[in-house]
Structure 1
Amino acid sequence: MTNESTQPKIVGKLLELLKKLWLQLVALYHPDNLKKQGTKRSVILITLTILFPFILIGWWWSTEPNLFDVQAIAQRQATQHNEQIVTGYITTYTLITIANTLLDKSGGYLSNDIIPPSIFMDDMPNWEFGVLQQVREFTKVLRNDISRSKTQSLEDPDLAKAEPKFNADNQSWFWSSETQYQEGIEFLTRYLRRLADPQNNTAQFLTRTDNLRDWLEVVVKRLGGLSQQLSASVGQLRMNTDLAGDINQATSSSAELQVKTPWSEIDDVFYQARGTCWALIHLLQAIEIDFKNVLEKRNAIVMLQQIIRELEMTQKAVWSPMILNNSGFGLFANHSLVLSSYISRANIGIIELYNLL
């Protein structure tokens, strides 16, 4: 009885407090008060008032999506559509979920926005680009290798339509990038429906060793490039190894190169690498399930799990308000070098896995 009587009093006090705050705000922005404050103070007050909600929205939209359980979401999807989880189902639906995350995360897809606050944001658009690169590259391998039994076999019609959609300009506003990517997701979903239909044998997902190697080869190059860019945040004088092993090189090049990522691009590379690793974690987890037989034959499951663990370390929260870029052994941290170390270790593991297969 006491609780029931105190609840209306608490609500009444809260309403009274909100009313007082509202009256104070109205008085603060009243023309008479603005005149008393003077032109300079009034302009500052109004500017801060406009910027404050933009800063809050920008902070919220810059929040990176959490990792998800690839097997759990695939099981939930199969249950909803009364489908069986066949080989390739988890990997394909993981790819679809990654692509959907680009469009459905907080703030939606930001890379092609032309209005505040997203037009002033670059961290999340670079994260999106890292994720998008993995969607593009895996869709290409799925179309050209995993879904085809032979080099001269017909390609899957839905995958043939999906891949070009994901290769649309990621910053296009007039020809909306989101529309193109959504159509690509729909084509992937059609492929998934046919793959899960026991009465339909037109879709294939072939878990051969060479198919897995084809994708891993692409991943190795991607992670290697990102690791180099991240390491170059402090600037290095490197030996030029770009044409190493090519005895028939057509152009001459200097033996040494001064490599340094421009200061304005350090956080861009950092968040692009974070997005790449976020997508790779899920794809590798799905591969572990669908390519289980191939991996078990080479006793490579533990190796793959360690690669995933290294990549998961790249997703730790960044507590600093900005990406620090101190020298390698300086007083303060260098976030790019820390991220590069995890990516390099994961990349070495992928190279070893590639050679083992």
Structure 2
Amino acid sequence: MSQALVKNAAAFQSALINWYDENARDLPWRVQPSLYKTVVSEFMLQQTQVKTVLPYFAKWLKSYPDFANLAQASEEQVLKSWEGLGYYSRARNLLKLAKEISAIPADEIPQDAKSWLKFPGIGPYAAAAVCSIAFSDQSAVVDGNVVRILSRMTADESSYTNSTEAAKVYRPLVQELLNRERPGDHNQAMMELGATVCHKNSPNCLLCPVREHCLGFEKGIAESLPKLAKIKFEDVTVNRAWIQKEGSILLHKIPANAKRMRGLHELPELAPLSIPVPSSTPIATRKRGITRYRITERIFDISPASLPNKIPEDYIWAKPDLIESLAFSGPHRKWIGELLAR
């Protein structure tokens, strides 16, 4: 890693923080900041863009203004409030965290990243982010944004399997560069730089406040860094049923023992109901991506007569007014609305 960057750490910190002070976006969790706002925002921002999070954050604060209020909510209520943000384990862990934090006297809540690692849903990145912002703990954050910035700053042309592997390599350098007088602002400035200037594609190098420290810019190779292995996508086809009876729609409630999305509702798949895939054209075909999967969802109009005599307990018949109150996985609510409007 670049010794020159470490040697000029003070100049790097100064340029970065001055830029942040003048250009930081006006985000709701930065207005009258609190530990609770910081935690909620960090959970929501995991693998989700700021523009997507903004409306959810505002509604969340109205429904659950603090840890104590959130701790009193049911998992079903929380999942319903989270609907559309995806990665629902974040919502469950946030609820668990609220329960644990609420049980701790305010003056005994730990203020260091290492202690926060014991809480549900808190990994090294979230622990450093929360504690540096809320408590000025001197812990540096390392994520994809930081990896991208420092790979360019150091002109690191090493090949990495993914950002997680690279983050382990960069962690010592990130900690060395941390502004210890303003660790929370420094971490947010790094996030801001990656989100608004040091883009994955077409970085705005001429607008970068720290480009004089960037070897990648100097060598003209910034845009090609970091060198991460390309994701190998897997194509998956899911066949689903659209079954109506007496004004109700058959839904599958994902059981409590499922690894993912338990407690959420979805249009049922054909196979678990022993319904063969029809030769007819689907009434709807939708494509979406989840992590490394490219999923094609095919929805077929199925007669209730095709159902087995006894439907398993995790299936329900729901009228449209009930559907409004249920929590759905992914875009299933949207699909149902589109199919009802045909």
> Hey, which of these two has a bigger chunk of strand by percent?
2
The structure with the greater share of residues assigned to helix is 1
Structure 2 length as normaliser, TM-score? 0.22
In our comparison, the structure showing a higher alpha carbon Rg is: 1
